[in-house]
Structures are given as structure tokens and as C-alpha cells.
Amino acid sequence: MRLLFLIHRLPCPPDRGAKLRAAGLLDWLARRHEVWCAGFLDPPSGREHAAQTAESLTRWRDLCREVFAVPLRPARATGRALAGLAAGGTATEHYFHSARMERQIARWSRRMPFDAVLAFSSSMAPPALRVPASRRVLVMDDLDSRKWRQSAARAAWPAGRLYALEACRLEARERAWIAAFDATVMVSRREAEAVTDPALRARIHVIPAGAGPGFETDPAAGPPPGLPEEDVVGFVGAMDYAPNIDAALWLADSIWPVIRARRPSARLWIVGRSPSRAVRRLDGRDGIRVTGTVPDIGPWLAGMCVHVAPLRLARGVQIKVLSAMAAARPCVVTPEVAEGLGAEPGRDLLVARGAEDIAGAVAGLLEDRPRARRIGLNGLAFVREGSGASRGLRHLEELLGGNPGDAGRPAGRRTAHPAPIRRAVATGETVSLPA
């Protein structure tokens, strides 16, 4: 199959949740099909990160037929997003827009007819719909409009007003994209059920975030290493991502002092790339270490006794939590995180709301190592049972190839979208669909 893979952030390196997810899908598809890949390249955050970016980009160019990378300049992208919002469009579409990329896609399309186009993230939906192809699949994973709506509820004016406007406009666009693509992939049943229109939901397929390389664990390999003796608590995530920044600051200011009062020897590792200035200031305070970018989170997870994910704003699946569970580390998460995972609270992980409850759950695991070990092993079993790498990825291949049972259109002919949808795609206007 000749496949065009469009992605909003190339996994160079795969050092955050969406990039890990994209890397798993791209690796699988590129080893089995002819893949042309185009996407944006995040600016490196330092010399080490630049080397990792170059190494990853070389790997993808070796696996794919061709890779076209457009450097993402955040200041310019933000300007485009605000201008697009002021002009009546969405910030999401304009932030990830590149005339250079669209010209390259057009050149590829003239050279060879693509059998299928995969758009990874809703921001890549518009260029994907302009490519002549037999099949189009959108890996939306979760509804970004709901993230914007949650952010609007927490933000002060004028940011809250802008976020609410983006949420409203993007929700209409998401509905139009689901209707226009042959199939849309969501990461969890919770996200799929957020689409209330039965006609649109019939076009949605759930492929869990664990369905991909990096989450396969070999049950025959024996038990994982035990928990360390030291009272080390960890939080892993990209520390330039607003929900993670909020979680890290809340953890340090409101949760960690309660844990230290019960376990004075406890230490906290905040592990993740590009920590914001506010997060960097936590380093060295009250047993806290902020690592910044690390080449491999594996050794850091191995050194943790408990992994905590205190996110107050979360949609989809937190892949770094799955990584911790795959390392058999007991996890304490908020209800917002737990909803996207599908794990059983109290068995596979602990769920707590509020600073006092989260601190009590973490400290309790530090004090009861057998229970912590048991929850960690249950979490590992959950990941092993739910990852279904080959099953989930073959499902994606079926969607790209036109499986008759996918509620889409059969492969082998160009998709003819209804006139209102074609017009909306071309102009960026909203389209009315059944409620």
C-alpha cells in the first residue's frame, strides 16, 4: 500500500505522549508499506535534544520512502493561529499550516497515486482531505475542542474568552472532519462516546494508545525488577505542556509538603523535556529534582517507588502513565487521568481527588511496599492485556485498506464527499450536520 502519513509533530525524538503514539503507528506502517511522511519538526531545546532530533529524523528517513520536515517556529505559528481566529477560523488549523508542506504533498501526489492518507491529529485533517486518495483515515485520538473548553473554564479573561471561541469553532470542524473521513480513530471509548450523533459515532473506531511498539511486554521474561528501597516519587511528562506545568506546580506546592510530613526522607523527581521557568525553579527545593530532557525514561522509572500523575486537565490517554504501569510502578492518578485509561481503581492503580487525598495515597504506598508492589504488578498485567499491539495496528491497516466492516467506503475508488463537506473543507467554513 502506498500511504501518505501527515503528522502535526514528527516523533523526533519520541519524547512525549503524542509523539510516542505517532512513533508506534509510523514504525509499524513503514515496515509493512511504502510510506511518505510529512510533518512539523519541533525546535530543539538544547544540544543534546538537537542530536536526538537528528538521530530520530535519520531513522524515519531510513524507514520511509521520503520524509518532509518543516521546522515549527512557535512564535510565527502563534501569530498564524491568532490571525486565523480573528478571521473566523480556528487556531488549531492555522497553527499547523505550511504552504511549503502542501506544495510538497502536491508534488508527491502528482508522482504517484496514494492508496490511502493517514492524518495524525485533527490539525492535519484539512491537508489530508485535499489529497486525492482512495481512503482517508483520521487518527484524532481525542477531541481537542473539549480540551479548549476545559482550559477556558480555568483561564482568566481574555485568554478564557479566546479558548472558549476556539472550542466552539473547533467542535464544529471536528464534526465535519469525522463526516468527511472514511474512518476516525479515537484512543478510548470515553472519547468516542463524547460524539453524540449516531451517524458520526458509527465512523469512529477505538484503538487504545497502548496498541503500538513500546508497550509490548513479554510475560515469559519473568517478573520485573522490584521497587527501590528509597522513597522516590516521580512525575513524568513534557514540562512545557500547560496541563503538566499546572500539575507539577500543584504537586510541589500543595501535595508534596503533606507527603514529606509523613515521609521526611522522600524525594520527588519531575522528569520531562523543556521544563518551564516556573517548573525549573522547583529544582533543589524540599527534596525535588527537575531533570529536564532525559535520553531514556526507563532508568528513571526503574528508580521510582511510586509514579504520580496529578493532572487536573486531561483528555484522552496519558501515555506516560501507561509507560510507568508497563514498568510495574504503582501509579496514583486523578479521576481525569483515570477516565481515559480504563484501568480498575484500587487494583491496577489508585485514584485520588484533591491534594490531601493524593498525598495520602502516595504516602500510603511508600509505607506499604507489598501493596505498592501488588498494584504495580496489576498495572503491568493491565498494560499487557490491553496493549494488543498487533491487533490494534492490524485494525488500523484494515481501516486504511478499506475493510468492508469499517462503516466507511470500499477502497479502489476516489472518495466523493457530499457537497457541503467539500465546500467546508475548501473554504474553512463550518458545516451543519445532524445533531
pLDDT of residue 387: 53
pLDDT of residue 406: 43
How far out from the chain centre does Cα 104 lie? 26
pLDDT of residue 317: 66
351 neighbors 173 (Cβ within 8 angstroms): no
**Cβ atoms within 10 A of the Cβ of 354, count?**
12
Torsion angle in degrees (nearest 10) through CA of 289, 295, 297, 300? -40
113 neighbors 132 (Cβ within 8 angstroms): yes
Residue 226 exposed, middle or buried by CB count within 10 Å (0-12, 13-18, 19+): exposed
Do β-strands 306-309 and 232-236 pair in parallel, antiparallel, or remain unpaired?
parallel
pLDDT of residue 222: 59
pLDDT of residue 430: 34
Residue 412 exposed, middle or buried by CB count within 10 Å (0-12, 13-18, 19+): exposed
| Non-local CB neighbours of 409 within 8 Å, separated by 6+ positions | 135, 182, 402, 415
pLDDT of residue 426: 36
Can 2-214+388-427 and 220-387 be said to share one CATH topology? yes
DSSP for residue 155? S
List the pLDDT tens digit at each of the 435 positions of the chain. 999 999 999 999 887 778 888 998 999 999 999 999 999 999 987 888 889 899 999 999 999 999 999 999 999 999 999 999 999 999 999 999 999 999 999 999 999 899 999 999 999 999 999 999 999 999 998 899 998 998 898 889 999 999 999 999 999 999 999 999 999 999 888 889 999 999 999 999 998 775 444 444 455 555 677 899 999 999 999 898 889 999 999 999 999 999 999 999 999 999 998 899 999 999 999 999 999 988 788 899 999 999 999 999 876 668 889 889 989 999 999 998 988 787 899 999 999 999 999 999 999 999 999 999 999 999 998 888 765 556 788 899 999 997 544 443 333 333 333 333 333 333 343 333 333
Domain 2-214+388-427 part of CATH 3.90.226.10? no
Place of cell 469553532: 169
Domain boundaries, the chain: 2-214+388-427, 220-387
* CATH class label, 220-387: alpha beta
- Entry pTM: 0.76
